[in-house]
Structure 1
Amino acid sequence: MARGDVLAPPAMREWAAKPQAKPKYVACTMRKDFPGTNSHILASNRRAVVQTLKNATPVGVLLGSCKLATELDRLILIDE
């Protein structure tokens, strides 16, 4: 929608563009390419990479996966 692929009212396209512009960090071992912009695959050393992201993002990092949250909790990388 943010790229104009779908017919939508201007307000919806404007809303969709906001998350599209944010960086997204993907923890995936199967896929190597992701549609959209600003998608980055996390390196295999997730502890170091996530700690670096946390240090660089003082307002916080949002998770979108229970499996990833479990792994990061095991690595003591989740604060709240």
Structure 2
Amino acid sequence: MGIFMSCCKPSASDVITPDAETRRRQQVEAAEKRRAEEAARGVKDPERVKRMQQRAEEMERREQELQKEGGATLKWTAD
């Protein structure tokens, strides 16, 4: 039985392994894919989420600019 099984497996010299640079590139691609999948988990519309994040960042930036200028100037008028 051992003889039959040994002929089906490729020998160590038959197995082609990619060089270190190719393997590193493949690992980076796989990691980026996993990160993207994890970020999109449970999100129906990832583009909408990106737009909302950009809008929130823009609002924060505007608030910081207003604080630098001395805050928002609101005028109170009583009629």
Query: Do the two structures share a fold, i.e. TM-score over 0.5?
Result: no
Give the TM-score taking structure 2 as reference length.
0.30
Higher-strand-fraction structure: 1
Larger radius of gyration: 2
Give the TM-score taking structure 1 as reference length.
0.29
